[in-house]
């Protein structure tokens, strides 16, 4: 309402026309309907054109299996785009303020390691046939509230903003007040950071695009190939961005489900002295190294066996981007399918993480006789194409300790004062 009042006060001076868009997301029952009624009545009072719509966010969420906020945003921006075309609008003005900017940047820094993922809220960006603009990013929520009080504007409050169940609300309630207590102008510093970061990122992506478009990369039939040494000669900040450009090209959309762990595994394959390796990316894409050749391809690949040492404590990244962490403690933390524990005194270090071998056998926990790993896969109904890549943990003597996430071996425990070896398996997807 503060933004609307501010723009209304400048309509005659600058000669622009305002159309207000107000939305009921079908999430808050009567409250959201009353919000829409409030906006339409204010617009009528101020003689401003208004468009109101009801969007069925719950139905969209159920149909596409996405979160509430993602569903609401998707439908909202679809509506915005249609309205901009309908009214032949040049600008879509939104009411994000400086506190929103701080919250957004903190959330992005918390969940992402890539600088390119820390973009904040831009002051303006291209949208539909025009631009989105955010005139209030330079002011705080408190300053907006003071403006409303001074101009006798009584906006309605969305009560859902008070719950800390949503990540943004939690940051707003618990993190932002601490930052403001140290520096009331934190929103200005964050805005400068966002602008500098955006400028730097735009330049680096421009340079990465030159590499992507150059003869360095060979593109053919939804496959990209290049020489390993040529890629390593590219500066590392451009390597990362070229990697993401390759994924966006092959996926034909932004690769949001590719994580920093995938990048770590990829660059390890490229830099490692091992002449042949393979890793799996989401949606059926693979990276295959064969000596000096690197290929991103959707073609089905034969499994490449692996054999890695794992120190304790230590960690290991597997070819599919999964992690295995090893440490020890003087107590058993409990056991789940992704966690393994045994008495370390009955294990010879270092550990080995490998793929299966013909004739692999072990004594499963709770059993007396030996069992073939092959039979375990059959019993657990593991698909054939997954068996050759399934990680198996052994000790230095070859004793199988754990068929990861499936079955532990029967390892004796020193009843007096056992020291527990702990292994944890983490993956971006389940087997």
pLDDT of residue 43: 97
Same fold, 2-197 and 218-297: no
Mean pLDDT value across the chain: 90
Share of the chain above pLDDT 70, in %: 95
pLDDT of residue 430: 40
Average pLDDT over residues 65-81: 91
* Interval 7-16: pLDDT, tens: 999 999 999 9
* Interval 258-291: pLDDT, tens: 777 788 889 988 998 878 888 888 888 999 998 9
Strand order in the sheet with 124-127: 91-93, 130-133, 124-127
Quick check: helix, strand or coil at residue 328?
Answer: strand
* Alpha carbon separation from 247 to 257, 259, 295 (Å, rounded): 11, 12, 12
**Alpha helix (H) ranges present in 112-255?**
141-150, 167-170, 176-182, 186-213, 228-232, 236-251
Share of the chain above pLDDT 90, in %: 66
417 token code pair: 């004062």
Length of the chain: 431
> Which CATH number describes the domain made up of 307-426?
3.50.40.10
Question: Among 3.40.50.12780, 3.40.50.620, 3.30.70.20, 3.30.40.230, what is the CATH number of 2-197?
Answer: 3.40.50.620
* Interval 334-369: pLDDT, tens: 767 799 999 999 999 999 999 999 999 999 998 989
* Interval 175-206: pLDDT, tens: 999 999 999 999 999 999 989 988 999 999 99
pLDDT of residue 309: 94
pLDDT of residue 323: 87
pLDDT of residue 429: 46
Listed ranges 35-49, 289-303, 310-324; the one with the highest mean pLDDT: 35-49
pLDDT of residue 431: 41
Quick check: helix, strand or coil at residue 30?
Answer: helix
pLDDT of residue 112: 61
Q: What distance in Å separates the CA atoms of residue 161 and residue 141, rounded to the nearest whole number?
A: 13
CA dihedral of residues 203, 282, 114, 425 (deg, nearest 10):
-160
* Interval 30-42: pLDDT, tens: 999 999 999 999 9
Q: What distance in Å separates the CA atoms of residue 92 and residue 148, rounded to the nearest whole number?
A: 22
What residue ranges in 261-322 does DSSP mark as E strands?
Answer: 276-280, 286-290, 293-297, 307-310, 314-317
Beta partners for 339?
424
DSSP of 346-407: GSPSSEEEE---TT-EE-BTT-SS-EEHHHHHHHTT--HHHHTT--EEE-TT--EEEETTTE
* Interval 216-253: pLDDT, tens: 899 987 899 999 999 999 999 999 999 999 999 999 87
pLDDT of residue 256: 67
Quick check: helix, strand or coil at residue 290?
Answer: strand
* Interval 105-152: pLDDT, tens: 998 888 765 667 788 899 999 999 999 999 999 999 999 999 999 999
pLDDT of residue 253: 77
Asked if residue 99 lies in contact with residue 176, where contact means CB atoms within 8 angstroms, the answer is yes
Q: What distance in Å separates the CA atoms of residue 413 and residue 397, rounded to the nearest whole number?
A: 18
Q: What distance in Å separates the CA atoms of residue 70 and residue 256, rounded to the nearest whole number?
A: 13
Q: What distance in Å separates the CA atoms of residue 120 and residue 190, rounded to the nearest whole number?
A: 9
Residue ranges per structural domain of the chain:
2-197, 218-297, 307-426
* Alpha carbon separation from 392 to 72, 77, 360, 403 (Å, rounded): 43, 47, 10, 5
Quick check: helix, strand or coil at residue 423?
Answer: strand
> Which CATH number describes the domain made up of 218-297?
3.30.465.60
Q: What distance in Å separates the CA atoms of residue 49 and residue 406, rounded to the nearest whole number?
A: 63
């Amino acid at each position: 309402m503060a933004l609307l009042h501010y723009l209304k006060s400048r309509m005659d001076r600058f000669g622009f026309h305002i159309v207000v868009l107000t939305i009921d997301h079908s999430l808050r029952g009567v409250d959201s309907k009353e919000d829409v009624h409030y906006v339409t009545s204010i617009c009528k009072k101020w003689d401003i054109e208004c468009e109101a719509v009801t969007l069925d966010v719950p139905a969209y969420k159920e149909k596409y299996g996405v979160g509430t906020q993602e569903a609401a945003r998707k439908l909202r921006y679809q509506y915005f785009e249609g309205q901009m075309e309908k009214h032949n609008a040049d600008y879509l003005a939104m009411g994000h303020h400086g506190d929103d900017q701080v919250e957004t940047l903190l959330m992005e820094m918390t969940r992402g390691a890539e600088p390119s993922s820390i973009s904040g809220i831009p002051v303006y960006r291209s949208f539909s046939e025009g631009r989105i603009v955010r005139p209030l990013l330079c002011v705080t929520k408190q300053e907006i509230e003071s403006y409303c009080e001074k101009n006798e504007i009584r906006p309605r409050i969305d009560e859902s903003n008070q719950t800390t169940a949503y990540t943004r609300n939690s940051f707003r309630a618990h993190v932002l007040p601490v930052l403001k207590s140290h520096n009331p102008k934190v929103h200005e510093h964050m805005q400068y950071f966002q602008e500098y970061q955006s400028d730097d990122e735009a330049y680096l992506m421009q340079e990465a695009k030159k590499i992507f478009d150059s003869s360095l990369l060979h593109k053919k039939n939804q496959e990209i190939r290049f020489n390993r040494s040529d890629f390593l000669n590219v500066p590392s900040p451009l390597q990362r961005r070229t990697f993401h450009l390759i994924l966006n090209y092959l996926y034909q959309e932004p690769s949001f489900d590719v994580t920093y762990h995938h990048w770590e595994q990829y660059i390890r394959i490229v830099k490692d002295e091992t002449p042949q390796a393979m890793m799996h990316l989401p949606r059926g894409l693979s990276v295959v190294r064969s000596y000096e050749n690197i290929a991103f391809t959707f073609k089905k690949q034969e499994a490449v066996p692996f054999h890695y040492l794992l120190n304790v404590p230590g960690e290991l990244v597997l070819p599919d981007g999964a992690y295995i962490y090893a440490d020890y403690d003087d107590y058993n933390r409990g056991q789940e399918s992704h966690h393994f524990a045994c008495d370390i005194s009955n294990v010879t270090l270092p550990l080995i993480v490998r793929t299966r071998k013909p004739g692999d056998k072990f004594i499963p926990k709770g059993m007396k006789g030996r069992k073939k790993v092959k039979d375990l896969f059959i019993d657990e109904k593991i698909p054939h194409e997954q068996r050759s890549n399934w990680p198996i943990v052994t000790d230095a003597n070859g004793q199988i300790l754990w068929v990861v996430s499936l079955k532990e071996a029967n390892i004796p425990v020193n009843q007096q004062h056992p020291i527990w070896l702990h292994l944890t398996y983490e993956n971006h997807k389940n087997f």
